[in-house]
Structure 1
């Protein structure tokens, strides 16, 4: 019964909280750029407006891809809230991301095609980092179960400080923030078209936006696991992490996909090896 309640809470509360976080993100971004910025509830207004528009599709495959992407993002959050397996969460999230790319590649638009190809490159960059983080968590807890993290006697951040940096790197790429917003930009910093989202509109674009809200909660929830011994500590850690992401997003320029791949793989491997050696030396 408890897991059912947590699942319902995840399905209902996660997109609302994700929308509010996105609204705060936009407002802080505007402040950093000396603008007033939109209302915090603007993401919700945008999605409601999109839901009221007439569906327009290049082909029906895009509709299926939008649905699968949303279901994958929502299900991954539910699995996290119910203490499921980290690897299962990873695979569900990946399936949704793959369908997003397939929807973009299903369109003959060059903007959509390039966006889809760049999204694949981003997946190649952040997915190995997530695997390394999850494997490190399993080495500390003895299990890939999320619930095992809450059985630790002290915050996991003490044992895996460098892996938290690796997770932050993956978070930046996954949320498509500068300097790694090469497939699409949440705030349209550098482009007039939105890459992988170009050919989506109306209700289907709304689904993708809602899926993004779920993903925000998912990645921040994984960050919160590093201070699982205190709810207040989890909130503070998540707030500081996301604030750092916003600042980095606004003070850095977009890098090339080659730099993204090389830095992600190189940095991820080096920090992982150093952290695990330090962990075993204790």
Structure 2
């Protein structure tokens, strides 16, 4: 009974708090990015104001087919986060994330925007780049912790960070890709370094675009939750370290986005697959030998 209560509380807390935390981090990231470019950034609350303005706009696009695919995208983003923070199976969380991305791509392809179709192509490349490393991460946790259940990993006796350091390094790379850092920012970026034509989001406006932005905030917290998982060992100290590292990783992602504006997607995909093959596979092999 206590376990069920904890699961419900964690899931509800994520549903309520994740948009606020994700929006605040987005605002802080924009300020940090503007500072790197020697500019004065907007208020940290600006993302919330932007979403509020979008929701107040009237649009006829809600009658279009792609709006239903966007709703499915938002739904699976939330499902993935709720499952993670409720302590569900890590593989289920990853599959829900992939399902969300698939619906986003379909939403772009059924729209009438050429820029959205271009963004969908980039989105597919982005998925192809990050998928191998995410699966290696799930396999690594399973081998080291003996379980893919997030709740079991959270209460482990030792931090998975050192035994999975190769996978963690690879995850840092694919986190920047999953967060649509350049060159994949064409599909969904609102960062100052993003392209002027925003790909997938070019086809949407009003409440639909607002929902996509909120879903992006949910995803931000979920991805940082993965980072947190590498440092969780069932103690307060582990939780503090995990939270601090997760925040630092977020700002590292913003910094990388400002430094990689001219990167080519072909190069990034090769690096991502090479990293997965070298760091991910090597880490799993060492775990197999040690365990």
Interval of TM-score (by shorter of Structure 1 and Structure 2): over 0.9
Matched, 1:32 2:32: no
Distance 1:126 1:255 in 2: 16
- Pick from 93, 97, 105: which aligns with 1:93? 97
Distance 2:286 2:95 in 1: 29
- Pick from 148, 151, 154: which aligns with 1:150? 154
Q: Secondary structure at the match of 1:261?
A: helix
Q: Secondary structure at the match of 1:55?
A: coil
Matched residue, 2:260: 252
Could you report, residue by residue, the CA deviation over 1:188-239 in whole angstroms, capped at 9, with x for unpaired residues?
5252211111101000000000000000001000110011021211111112
Distance 1:184 1:18 in 2: 16
Matched, 1:46 2:50: yes
Matched, 1:176 2:184: no
Matched residue, 1:70: 74
- Pick from 2, 14, 17: which aligns with 2:21? 17
- Tell me the number of residue pairs that the alignment of Structure 1 and Structure 2 aligns: 282
Tell me how far 1:151 sits from its aligned partner.
Answer: 2.7
Q: Check whether the contact 2:186–2:197 (CA below 8 A) recurs between aligned residues.
A: no
Q: Check whether the contact 2:74–2:211 (CA below 8 A) recurs between aligned residues.
A: yes
Matched residue, 1:263: 271
Distance 2:186 2:141 in 1: 29
Q: 1:179 to 1:248 in 2, by over 3 A?
A: farther
Q: What is the TM-score normalised by the length of structure 1?
A: 0.95
Of stretches 146-155 and 13-22 in structure 1, the one that deviates more from structure 2 is: 146-155
Matched residue, 2:12: 8
Matched residue, 1:114: 118
Matched, 1:233 2:259: no
Of stretches 99-108 and 16-25 in structure 1, the one that deviates more from structure 2 is: 99-108
Tell me how far 1:261 sits from its aligned partner.
Answer: 1.9
Distance 2:272 2:107 in 1: 26
Q: Check whether the contact 1:197–1:205 (CA below 8 A) recurs between aligned residues.
A: yes
Q: Secondary structure at the match of 1:107?
A: coil
Q: 1:59 to 1:254 in 2, by over 3 A?
A: farther
Matched, 1:243 2:247: no
Instruction: Please give the root-mean-square deviation of Cα atoms over the aligned residues, in Å.
Output: 1.6
Matched residue, 1:275: 283
Q: Which stretches of structure 1, 4 residues or more, deviate above 3 A after TM superposition?
A: 277-282
Of stretches 268-277 and 66-75 in structure 1, the one that deviates more from structure 2 is: 268-277
Unpaired runs of at least 5, structure 1: none
Q: Check whether the contact 1:177–1:186 (CA below 8 A) recurs between aligned residues.
A: no
Unpaired runs of at least 5, structure 2: none
Distance 2:254 2:159 in 1: 25
Tell me how far 1:14 sits from its aligned partner.
Answer: 0.6
